[in-house]
Every structure is written in structure tokens, then in C-alpha cells.
Structure 1
């Protein structure tokens, strides 16, 4: 569990500004916040730190990740292990995400919701673990493709988190043991899928806030014309 004192001062300042902006619009009720962005942008850590910032401000926060709502391997790879189109269109089960988490969370009351739906490592659905929360609570979800058509309207607020492509790849090499060659087939799968996403969903303009997380200790708020993932060629 991350502690506030271990977060760099410039990062804390940005997180607090996002909390203040969010609270100005969504002080009460059940609300949802997405931390979207390409692979290697630092979404999970940023979402975790943001949850700490909200907790310090007195909010009840729940955390989830789209990585816990994958389709089974057979479905994910039906167009090939390295298909970028397959990754973009088949990796995640958005129907499951809506059905067991987003929709019941928004209903409030005693309705239970499920923060995980699929065990990626075991390639099997997780055993249902339904939780409840108070009337006023924030759900923060991190992951790729969170502003695509299937999830439009699901978020009260979304953050497009990006970083320099070389920095993103270096993080993936360190975190996942990815091939350091950006032209490797395994890396092109992710990069080309993001280009499809940017072309289709324009996440940099759909997002409520854009953050350049190239320097994780000093992330910078950007404007709507900023997006380092260029559209896929036609």
C-alpha cells in the first residue's frame, strides 16, 4: 500500500489538484473515475496514488482494473497471439465489467458489486466476491481503452495518462520483461492497437484531464491537443 509521504512533492501537488477539481463537481453520491492511457504510461500506480489522495481528502474509494476483466485466452487470441486488432477488440469483457461492477456500483444502496471478474494468470473467472459501500463513494478504474464506445457514459471523470514512447517501452521491459526492440512483433501489437484506439475514440479529447507522466515524480497537466500516440495509417 502506497503511503502519501513516499509520493514525490510535485506528484502530490498534481494529485491534490485533480481531487479538488473532481470534488468541485462530484462531492456526493456514487461516482466513477477512469485512468486511461497506453501500455507503460503508469496507469496503475497513478490510480493507486490518486486513491490515496482521495482517501486523505475524506472520501471512500474503491479500486479496480480492467486487467481483471479479460476475456478467456481462446477468445483473446482468436486472430493470433500478436494481432493488434485482436488486442484492441477482443482482450477485455466490457459486458462483464458493466454488469458486475459499473452498473451495480452506480445503483448504490445495498447492491453488491464485484471488483474482479477474471483471473488472467489462471485464465478462468474469479469466484464471485461481492462487496458494498456507502452512499457516497468513488470507484477508480485503471486500464487501456477505457474511453472506447462500449464504455462511453460509464465515467463521471476520466484521465488520459500518457508518456514518451521510449519511456513507456522501458517501463514495460522492466515490469514485464518485454522485448526492448520497439519494432518487435510483441510490442507492435500494443502500439498498433493504441493507434486504432486513438483513431476510433479520440481519448485525448474525450478525457476530462490529460496528464503527461513521462517523469513519474513530476507529471504535468496538458491540454486537449496533446496525445503522443499517433493515429494508425489508413
Structure 2
């Protein structure tokens, strides 16, 4: 995967001259997006680029808004896990020009959101990583999108054993939502670069 990162780094350096560059790292759950983003961040810093990372999982909503809502489980995961429109208005539309954005950050232990302000360097690479990143509400805001293509079995085996034991949750919630995303948004076809993992 290092060769892919080096290729991506060269692409970013060639495209990012004197403005903000918005990079999306897409992929399904446990495909390695966060690790990839952090590794790429280090490479960019070594290349004298300022970097700002947003992890979409930091911005999920409270459990009562995404569980036991009366909707199908896959729908809750795909459509209710995040406030899609709020993030569009307060992250995606602002991140290219604003010097700061204020967003709700989710605390899983307390099951509460707390607002924090993130300051963004004037000329930097903004990395946004998360699942379902190329949904139609957000796709237009990216300059470049990488999709980490990782088999379901590999991703499932990366889960803790206690989580894997509840396979029905994967079948009804996660995998159905993933299938919906793959079929409706066609993220592999829309991505600028696909990296196998």
C-alpha cells in the first residue's frame, strides 16, 4: 500500500499549489480509512504541507436518533447515523474557505455531542475520511476522492470477537446499508483512485 500512498502524495502535490485541497478518503467500515489518513498526514507534513483531518465518526448523532426509530436498521445506519444536511452546511460548504468550523463532536461514553471549533490553516490539505463519503449530498465538495476497497470478510475479521458474535446486526444493519451505498452511489466508479487493501 506504500506505493499507492506515494502515488497519491505525488498527485496531491501536483494539484495543491496555493489553495485548500479537499481530499476524501472513502471506504466501508474497517477498511483502514483512519490509519490511511494518519499515515498520509505524516507524508504531507514531511512534504511541508499543512494538514487538517476530519473523521466523520467524530460527528455521529446520539443513539436515540439512530436506534429504535421505527425505521429499518440499515436505513438508520445509512441515513440517521449522521445529520447529513447539518454536516453539508456546517462542514462541507465551509471547509474550503473558512478559517474555522464549529461542529458537534460525539462522546460515546456519555452518548452526547459537544461543540468544538476546529481552526483550518489558510493553505492546507483538508482530509475528510468516513464511510458513505460519496453520498450525493457531499460528493461535489471534494477535489479528489480515494476509495479503500477492502473485502467484507477482511473487514469483519478486524472487528473485536465480542462484536463479531452479533452477526445479525451486521446482516441487518451494516451490510444492507453498505450494499445500498455500493448499488446506489457506485463509489468505486466515482472515486478518482481505488486502493486495494
Q: Structure 2 length normalisation: TM-score?
A: 0.89
Alignment of 1:190-205 (within 5 A): 190-205=174-189
The answer for the alignment partner of 2:105 in structure 1 is 118
Matches within 5 A, 1:60-75: 60-75=50-65
Whether 1:166 aligns to 2:158 is no
Kindly tell me: are residues 17 and 145 of structure 1, through their superposed partners in 2, closer, same or farther at Cα, counting changes over 3 Å?
same
Query: Which 10-residue stretch deviates more, 17-26 or 137-146?
Result: 17-26
Secondary structure of 1:107's counterpart equals: coil
CA 1:132 to 1:36, structure 2 compared with 1: closer, same or farther past 3 Å? closer
Matched ranges for 1:1-234 at <5 A: 11-79=1-69, 83-108=73-98, 111-114=99-102, 116-121=103-108, 122-134=110-122, 136-173=123-160, 177-180=162-165, 184-188=167-171, 189-213=173-197
TM-score (norm: length of structure 1):
0.76
Question: Residue 69 of structure 1: CA displacement?
Answer: 1.6
Higher relative contact order (CA 8 A, sep 6+): 2
Gaps spanning 5+ residues in structure 2: where? none
**In structure 2, what is the Cα distance between the partners aligned to 1:81 and 1:56?**
46
Q: CA deviation at 1:44?
A: 0.7
Q: Greater CA deviation, 160-169 or 70-79?
A: 70-79
Write out per-residue CA displacement over residues 34-70 of structure 1, whole angstroms, 9 at most, x where no aligned residue.
1111111111101111111111111100011110121
Q: How many residues of Structure 1 are paired with residues of Structure 2 in the alignment? A: 195
Unmatched runs of 5 consecutive residues or more in structure 1: 1-10, 214-234
CA contact (8 A) 2:146 2:194 kept: yes
